């Protein structure tokens, strides 16, 4: 696999100069076009120590407009990072659309080194490669242009290069004992590298192998691949957009998913909305449950067990009220409530999960999402904000995301608060006529109401695809507020208690 990068590729000063100027100009022009485009560029730099990974990144920082450029190198995970899901450190550093992100010691480094040092088996390594593949696929499906550079040196070239660096007083610091240790493990390192490239070199996130011995050659080679990659992706996106613009509405109509058979029971229609809890019993129950939750949260903090609660439900179903009954039982340092409204500019410029990734809290805390990533398969699906391919793909993406959370030991619980259409109207009317509640009611609420049936089907599909043992949906009969709040609190306590046992 690496023989093509042991051919002694070099560029003379003259050849380099002849190419450099044009290339830099083309890259800057393309960066300008990219700025207006709807996809980010993700460049991964990996490879043999001494093959010029960071030097090449520096060179690109010199050539490109750095205002549109992100550069990140991942060191040992910080405390902050260790307390969150494995990929959190990568998720939050992804570039927005229109920008180029360059990554050193990326998501490939830890599994690769773990494998070389024999800390994980071949099966575990393969499984971690699969996870990376799924991660990159999700980004690529969202439009990201991903190019991964493997900077290579032959065993003797690496030795030569490390010795040369050591002799140069200005570069000496670059060579560490670890570099020499890696050099002595060259064969194992290259075998693991090959397995990496084999498993994660896909059509949508290809690896490019670059010979790293000549700085002039490697800079020009990387920059040329980057130029061609951006140029090609811009062309592909233009093609895609013009196709969608030109499609007749019949074609687009046929692409919209039809759901369960009409008239059949859904997961919501099967709920018994008659369930209720008398006010007196509720007051007592609330006190007991809140007391229990208060103890559990302290224990969770102590043990470092995080939890995430997701609240979805009809407008006016009582999400806010239920959430307040939870938070009022807790220490304010132990939780955060995240209100999900329209994405900000910054959020809209990234993968749709990014705005949730950024809210992962540290160990031992509870994060409560008032609306969540499920908007993708609810409002965005029903209102057509997401294209059919996008929301259909989202079920799998959400399951992958939640598996990351579960693997990190996070307790994840999802609530759908269900009321009848009549009850909703009653609550809307009540809001309208109560001065301090009127602001909560918008025209949009009335509009959403008209698509009740579509939402009901969307909820049904959502529960079908995403209710798992690791992250179950709790369907809450919320026609009676007291019953609903008690059921929510009870579920939270139960799941927390089980995780803390």
| 8 belongs to the binding site for a copy of itself (CB under 8 A) | yes
CA angle 390, 463, 355 (to 5 degrees): 50
Gyration radius (Cα) of the chain, Å? 27
* Phi, psi values for residue 236, rounded to 5°: -60, -40
From 35-43, 118-126, 323-331, 334-342, span contacting a copy of itself (CB under 8 A): 118-126
| Residue 335: partners with Cβ closer than 8 Å, 6 or more residues away | 297, 326, 327, 365, 366, 367, 368
Work out how close the CB of 445 gets to a copy of itself at its nearest, in angstroms, rounded to a whole number: 27
| 17 belongs to the binding site for a copy of itself (CB under 8 A) | no
Please report, as residue ranges, which positions from 428 to 467 form the binding site for a copy of itself (by CB under 8 A). 460, 463-467
| 393 belongs to the binding site for a copy of itself (CB under 8 A) | yes
**Tokens 């803390």, residue?**
500
Please report, as residue ranges, which positions from 253 to 312 form the binding site for a copy of itself (by CB under 8 A). 254-258, 260-261, 263-267, 270
CA angle 13, 17, 23 (to 5 degrees): 135
| β-bridge partners, 307 | 366, 411
Rounded to whole angstroms, how far apart are CA atoms 454 and 448?
Answer: 10
Work out how close the CB of 430 gets to a copy of itself at its nearest, in angstroms, rounded to a whole number: 32
Whichever of 28 and 240 has its CB closer to a copy of itself, that residue is 240
Work out how close the CB of 319 gets to a copy of itself at its nearest, in angstroms, rounded to a whole number: 21
Kindly report the length of the chain.
501
Please report, as residue ranges, which positions from 216 to 255 form the binding site for a copy of itself (by CB under 8 A). 217, 220-221, 224, 228, 231-232, 234-236, 238-240, 242-244, 246-247, 250-252, 254-255
Work out how close the CB of 98 gets to a copy of itself at its nearest, in angstroms, rounded to a whole number: 19
Please report, as residue ranges, which positions from 140 to 159 form the binding site for a copy of itself (by CB under 8 A). 141
| 366 belongs to the binding site for a copy of itself (CB under 8 A) | no
Instruction: Tell me, residue by residue from 68 to 107, as one string, x for binding to a copy of itself by CB under 8 A and - for no binding.
Output: ----------------------------------------
Whichever of 7 and 177 has its CB closer to a copy of itself, that residue is 7
Among 36, 123, 272, 450, binds a copy of itself (CB under 8 A): 123
Work out how close the CB of 15 gets to a copy of itself at its nearest, in angstroms, rounded to a whole number: 8
Please report, as residue ranges, which positions from 185 to 204 form the binding site for a copy of itself (by CB under 8 A). 191, 194, 197-199, 201-204
Whichever of 292 and 418 has its CB closer to a copy of itself, that residue is 418
CA pseudo-torsion sign 337, 309, 365, 322: positive
Q: Are 58 and 223 in contact (CB under 8 A)?
A: no
- Report the run of H or E that residue 313 belongs to, with start and end: strand 307-313
- Three-state DSSP class for residue 412: strand
C-beta contacts of 66-71 below 8 A and 24+ residues apart: 68/31, 68/34, 68/35, 68/98, 68/99, 68/100, 69/99, 69/100, 69/101, 69/102, 70/95, 70/99, 70/100, 70/101, 70/102, 71/101, 71/102, 71/104
| 489 belongs to the binding site for a copy of itself (CB under 8 A) | no
Whichever of 170 and 261 has its CB closer to a copy of itself, that residue is 261
| 1 belongs to the binding site for a copy of itself (CB under 8 A) | yes
Whichever of 41 and 296 has its CB closer to a copy of itself, that residue is 41
Rounded to whole angstroms, how far apart are CA atoms 201 and 129?
Answer: 10
Mutual orientation of helices 481-500 and 279-303 as an angle, nearest 10°?
30
Please report, as residue ranges, which positions from 401 to 430 form the binding site for a copy of itself (by CB under 8 A). 403
| 24 belongs to the binding site for a copy of itself (CB under 8 A) | no
Among 65, 75, 80, 124, binds a copy of itself (CB under 8 A): 124
Q: How many residues touch a copy of itself (CB under 8 A)? A: 79
């Amino acid at each position: 696999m690496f023989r093509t990068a042991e051919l002694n590729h070099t560029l003379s000063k003259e050849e380099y100069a002849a190419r450099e100027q044009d290339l830099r100009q083309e890259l800057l022009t393309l960066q300008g076009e990219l700025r207006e485009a709807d996809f980010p560029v993700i460049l991964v730099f990996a490879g043999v120590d001494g093959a010029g990974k960071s030097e090449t990144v520096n060179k690109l920082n010199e050539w490109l407009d750095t205002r549109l450029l992100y550069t990140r190198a991942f060191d040992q995970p910080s405390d902050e990072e260790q307390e969150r899901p494995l990929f959190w450190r990568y998720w939050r550093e992804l570039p927005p659309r229109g920008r180029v992100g360059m990554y050193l010691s990326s998501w490939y480094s830890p599994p690769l080194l773990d494998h070389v040092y024999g800390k994980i088996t071949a099966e575990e390594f393969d499984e971690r490669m699969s996870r990376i593949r799924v991660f990159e696929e999700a980004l690529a499906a969202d439009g990201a242009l991903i190019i991964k550079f493997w900077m290579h040196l032959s065993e003797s070239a690496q030795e030569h290069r490390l010795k040369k660096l050591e002799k140069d007083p200005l570069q000496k610091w670059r060579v560490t004992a670890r570099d020499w240790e890696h050099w002595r493990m060259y064969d194992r390192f290259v075998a693991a590298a090959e397995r990496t490239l084999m498993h994660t070199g896909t059509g949508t996130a290809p690896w490019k192998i670059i010979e790293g011995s000549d700085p002039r050659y490697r800079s020009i080679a990387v920059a040329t691949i980057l130029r061609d990659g951006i140029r090609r992706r811009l062309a592909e996106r233009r093609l895609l957009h013009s196709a969608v613009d030109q499609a007749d509405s019949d074609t687009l109509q046929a692409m919209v998913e039809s759901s369960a058979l009409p008239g059949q029971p859904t997961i919501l229609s099967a709920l018994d909305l008659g369930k209720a809890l008398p006010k007196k019993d509720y007051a007592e129950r609330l006190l007991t449950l809140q007391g229990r939750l208060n103890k559990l949260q302290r224990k969770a903090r102590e043990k470092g067990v995080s939890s995430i609660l997701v609240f979805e439900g009809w407008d006016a179903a009582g999400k806010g009220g239920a959430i307040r009954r939870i938070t009022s039982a807790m220490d304010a340092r132990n939780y955060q409530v995240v209100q999900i409204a329209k994405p900000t500019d910054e959020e809209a410029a990234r993968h749709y999960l990014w705005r949730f990734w950024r809210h992962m809290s540290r160990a031992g805390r509870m994060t409560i999402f008032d609306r969540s990533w499920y908007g993708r398969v609810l409002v965005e699906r029903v209102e057509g904000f997401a294209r059919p391919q996008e929301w259909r793909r989202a079920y799998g993406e959400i399951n992958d995301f939640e598996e990351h959370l579960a693997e990190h030991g996070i307790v994840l619980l999802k609530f759908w608060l269900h009321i009848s259409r009549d009850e909703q109207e009653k609550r809307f009317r009540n809001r309208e006529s109560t001065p301090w509640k009127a602001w909560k009611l918008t025209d949009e609420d009335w509009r959403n109401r008209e698509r009740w049936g579509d939402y009901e089907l969307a909820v049904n599909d959502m529960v079908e695809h995403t209710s798992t043992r690791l992250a179950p949906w709790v369907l809450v009969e919320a026609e009676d507020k007291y019953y609903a709040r008690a059921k929510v609190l009870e579920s939270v306590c139960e799941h927390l208690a089980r995780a803390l046992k």
